[in-house]
């Protein structure tokens, strides 16, 4: 049988191999092209992105806290400074077990409960890559012990910081205020990027009100780290911008004198310049040491301060509400003259009491047997209640409210420290709104002598008497004198003039001021016993006694047996407002001494220092910190 042989088609095989080779080549060319394009895309378009990711393996962008601005008084005396300290910080992201790390750290560096609680609190409000202070103010021995053991604590480091300090301590705590650890609520109200390296923020007073000026602007450093995360060198940095230095209108020596004069009494002193509105001193007693709040204190220590019967945290100058008492009488008299409700020569007979028509209620004068026949001058000099009962009834509550409002009572003064209360100017509408009961004529009678519902702060009392000293000119009370950016000349703050108090008859100013001068110089005056007739400066003033506990008869100075026998908490407050010299007032003062008769004596001590330069018991604290070269010319 014959077999057929299969012949190969070489041409077809060659064509098949060629086709397959070309297909493979095309696929390879496509893949190579795609690879080249991808490499080009990564190298060019994504260069910045992957460079950043790469650098994050060995570089850190670290925010740098700006230096907080300093605070000085008007003479260049340092009131708030920054002291260098060492702190132990933790970076949570670099620490595998925070609780274990804290336990081990506590074996070499003592940690109290307050420090641990504060760290745990801040741990919740910071991002994990941020440095969180664990312990401030490390000693040299503690720093040395930590460095010996640092290899055991990844993410823990010693950092040099500046921490706030108040050289005068309690003397200015209610005004300057203090800084404290920043919390979540406060972070919501600031630029978080600008506070990324900041652990402290102003909590009270000037520190809080001028936080934006004092804080400054955050800086940044690009740091190269070693394998343990410790910085080796700084590759690039943006310097932080320090906060502004502030110069306040305060005179620290006058502040300390006022504080010493008030020592031992709860109360307040406010002193200002009538011609500018600059605050020279603001004292609230008792006070507290603001440095306690910088490091943080335990809840127990804070509760002791907060619940202390003397209320040291309570700023009486701005938030203390007191009856105006007889310090209201100059304004009532001024309105009586200006509305022609009374005249300088109009007289009444004071038997020691006053009774409204068709009423059985008797309103007693502080002098049981009365002052006899009195005119306006006599009524102001001897503080005759009966005269003002009659004048208030005749004038009506509308006139009383109007004159007090024009002198700034019942509203915020606008001082640049915040936290103040507006006080109360009582009226029929106010009583109906707040008490739900109608106004009575007896309310008007009480209002005319500064009792009843009328209330004012010591700052308002000082502002009121300053307006009277200026014969109606009003200036915004303020504490900021000038501010200074780093390396620049200080910028003085402009004085703000407010709407003046205008009278129909300008001579009425002189009548009231003359009467207030007689309060001091006349033997009949309620201020005569405290000042007398041998004063080295002229002064116009008014005493007042704010009733705390009802006694049928009491004198203007509270000198009666019943007062002395009462528990201290039930005794009257004494008030004193004044300005001096009379012709060209340089100073206006308001003093309130709670449950004490000594307001006028306290004012005398302060005014003697201001005008004569005598400094009994004056501790010129912080004198070594005086920086005249950096102080502006004021």
Mean pLDDT (whole number) for 425-451: 95
Of the candidates 581, 600, 580, 584, the residue with the CA atom closest to the CA atom of residue 592: 600
Of the candidates 544, 609, 629, 612, the residue with the CA atom closest to the CA atom of residue 252: 609
Say what the pLDDT of residue 350 is: 96
Mean pLDDT (whole number) for 402-409: 97
DSSP H or E segment with residue 243: none
**pLDDT for 624 beyond 50:** no
Distance of alpha carbon 324 from alpha carbon 111, whole angstroms: 51
**pLDDT for 550 beyond 90:** no
Distance of alpha carbon 353 from alpha carbon 368, whole angstroms: 8
Question: pLDDT class for 609, splitting at 50, 70, 90?
Answer: very high
* Beta bridge pairs of residue 355: 362
Say what the pLDDT of residue 356 is: 93
**pLDDT for 621 beyond 90:** no
CATH 3.90.1310.10 applies to domain 60-244: yes
Q: Tokens representing 493? A: 């703050």
Of the candidates 486, 417, 491, the residue with the CA atom closest to the CA atom of residue 70: 486
Task: Please give the backbone phi and psi of residue 56, each rounded to the nearest 5 degrees, phi first.
Answer: -65, -15
Distance of alpha carbon 622 from alpha carbon 77, whole angstroms: 7
Mean pLDDT (whole number) for 369-378: 96
Say what the pLDDT of residue 107 is: 86
Mean pLDDT (whole number) for 459-482: 97
* Beta bridge pairs of residue 372: 350
Name, of 38-52, 97-111, 371-385, the range with top average pLDDT: 371-385
User: Poorest-confidence range of 137-141, 453-457, 598-602?
Assistant: 137-141
Distance of alpha carbon 517 from alpha carbon 8, whole angstroms: 139
- pLDDT tens per residue, range 471-510: 999 999 999 999 999 888 888 888 999 999 999 999 999 9
Say what the pLDDT of residue 616 is: 45
C-alpha 41 chain-centroid distance: 58
Bigger pLDDT: 184 vs 470 = 470
Mean pLDDT (whole number) for 38-44: 80
Q: Domain ranges for the chain, please list them.
A: 60-244
User: Poorest-confidence range of 322-331, 480-489, 577-586?
Assistant: 480-489
Mean pLDDT (whole number) for 361-384: 95
User: Poorest-confidence range of 32-46, 51-65, 524-538?
Assistant: 51-65
Bigger pLDDT: 109 vs 46 = 109
List all residues 6 or more positions away from 309 whose beta carbon is below 8 Å from its beta carbon.
none
Mean pLDDT (whole number) for 210-236: 77
User: Poorest-confidence range of 354-358, 457-461, 462-466, 621-625?
Assistant: 621-625
Mean pLDDT (whole number) for 536-562: 71
User: Poorest-confidence range of 14-18, 30-34, 239-243?
Assistant: 14-18
Q: Tokens representing 362? A: 């008797």
DSSP H or E segment with residue 316: helix 316-319
Say what the pLDDT of residue 386 is: 97
Span between the terminal Cα atoms of the chain, in Å? 135
Q: Tokens representing 581? A: 């010299």
Look up residue 193 and give its DSSP letter.
Answer: T
Mean pLDDT for the chain? 87
User: Poorest-confidence range of 55-69, 403-417, 433-447, 553-567?
Assistant: 553-567
Q: Which positions are catalytic?
A: 326
Label residues 221-249 b or e (16+ Cβ within 10 Å = b): bebebeeeeeeeeeeeeeebebbbbbbbb
List all residues 6 or more positions away from 506 whose beta carbon is below 8 Å from its beta carbon.
471
Question: pLDDT class for 164, splitting at 50, 70, 90?
Answer: very high
Whether pTM > 0.95 for this model: the answer is no
Of the candidates 166, 211, 179, 178, the residue with the CA atom closest to the CA atom of residue 73: 166
* HEC letters along 53-75: HHHCCCEEEEEECCCCCCEECCC
Of the candidates 571, 575, 555, 562, the residue with the CA atom closest to the CA atom of residue 366: 555
Say what the pLDDT of residue 128 is: 66
Of the candidates 177, 157, 154, 325, the residue with the CA atom closest to the CA atom of residue 246: 177
**pLDDT for 622 beyond 80:** no
Bigger pLDDT: 24 vs 518 = 518
**What is the dihedral sign for C-alpha 38, 44, 49, 51?**
positive
Burial class (CB in 10 A: 0-12, 13-18, 19+), 538: middle
Question: pLDDT class for 620, splitting at 50, 70, 90?
Answer: very low
Label residues 187-220 b or e (16+ Cβ within 10 Å = b): eeeeeeebbbbbbbbbbbbbbbbbbebbbbebbb
Percentage, residues of the chain above pLDDT 90:
57
Label residues 548-574 b or e (16+ Cβ within 10 Å = b): beebeebebbbeeeebeeeeeeebbbb
């Amino acid at each position: 049988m014959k077999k057929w042989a299969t012949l190969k088609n070489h041409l077809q095989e060659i064509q098949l191999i060629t086709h397959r080779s070309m297909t493979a080549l095309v696929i390879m060319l496509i893949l190579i092209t795609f690879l080249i394009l991808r490499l080009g895309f990564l190298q060019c378009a994504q260069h910045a992105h992957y460079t950043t990711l790469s650098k994050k393996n060995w570089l850190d962008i670290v925010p740098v806290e700006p230096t907080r601005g300093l605070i000085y008084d008007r003479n260049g005396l340092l009131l708030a400074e920054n002291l260098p300290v060492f702190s132990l910080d933790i970076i949570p992201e670099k620490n595998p077990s925070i609780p274990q790390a804290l336990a081990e750290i506590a074996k070499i560096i003592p940690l109290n409960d307050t420090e641990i609680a504060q760290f745990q609190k801040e741990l919740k409000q910071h991002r994990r890559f941020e440095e969180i202070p664990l312990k401030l103010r490390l000693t040299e021995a503690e720093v040395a012990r930590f460095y010996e053991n640092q290899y055991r604590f990844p993410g823990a480091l010693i950092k040099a910081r500046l921490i706030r300090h108040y050289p005068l301590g309690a003397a200015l705590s209610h005004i300057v205020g203090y800084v404290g650890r920043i919390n979540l609520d406060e972070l919501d109200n600031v630029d978080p990027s600008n506070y990324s390296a900041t652990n402290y923020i102003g909590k009270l007073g000037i520190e809080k009100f001028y936080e934006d000026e004092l804080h400054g602007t955050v800086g940044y450093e690009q740091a190269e780290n070693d394998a343990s995360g410790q910085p080796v060198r700084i590759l690039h940095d943006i310097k932080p911008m320090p906060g502004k230095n502030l110069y306040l209108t305060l005179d620290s020596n006058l502040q300390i004198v006022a504080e010493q004069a008030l020592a031992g009494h709860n109360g307040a002193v406010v002193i200002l310049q009538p011609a500018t509105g600059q605050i020279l001193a603001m004292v609230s007693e008792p006070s507290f040491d603001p440095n306690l709040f910088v490091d943080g204190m335990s809840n127990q220590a804070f509760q002791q301060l907060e619940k202390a019967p003397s209320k040291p945290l309570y700023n009486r100058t701005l938030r203390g509400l007191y009856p105006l008492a007889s310090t209201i009488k100059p304004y009532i008299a001024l309105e009586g003259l200006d509305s022609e409700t009374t005249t300088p020569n109009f007289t009444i007979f004071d038997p020691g009491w006053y009774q409204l028509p068709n009423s059985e209620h008797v309103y007693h004068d502080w002098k049981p047997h009365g002052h006899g026949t009195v005119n306006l001058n006599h009524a102001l000099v001897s503080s005759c209640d009966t005269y003002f009962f009659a004048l208030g009834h005749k004038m009506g509550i509308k006139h009383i409210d109007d004159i007090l409002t024009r002198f700034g009572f019942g509203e915020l003064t606008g001082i640049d420290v915040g936290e103040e209360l507006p006080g109360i100017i009582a009226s029929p509408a106010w009583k109906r709104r707040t008490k739900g009961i109608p106004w009575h004529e007896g309310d008007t009678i009480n209002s005319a002598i500064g009792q009843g519902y009328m209330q004012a702060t010591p700052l308002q009392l000082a502002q009121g008497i300053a307006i009277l000293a200026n014969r109606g000119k009003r200036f915004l009370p303020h504490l900021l004198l000038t501010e200074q950016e780093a390396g620049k000349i200080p910028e003085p703050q402009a004085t703000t003039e407010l709407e003046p108090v205008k009278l129909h008859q300008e001579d009425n100013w002189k009548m009231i001021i003359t009467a207030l001068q007689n309060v001091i110089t006349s033997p009949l005056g309620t201020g005569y016993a405290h000042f007398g007739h041998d004063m080295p400066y002229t002064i116009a003033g008014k005493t007042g006694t704010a009733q705390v506990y009802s006694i049928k008869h009491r004198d203007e100075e509270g000198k009666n047996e019943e007062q002395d026998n009462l528990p201290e908490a039930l005794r009257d407050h004494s008030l004193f407002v004044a300005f001096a010299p009379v012709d060209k007032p340089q100073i206006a003062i308001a003093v309130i001494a709670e449950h004490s008769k000594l307001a006028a004596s306290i004012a005398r001590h302060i005014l003697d220092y201001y005008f004569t330069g005598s400094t009994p018991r004056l501790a010129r604290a912080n004198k070594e910190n005086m920086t005249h070269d950096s102080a502006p010319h004021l």
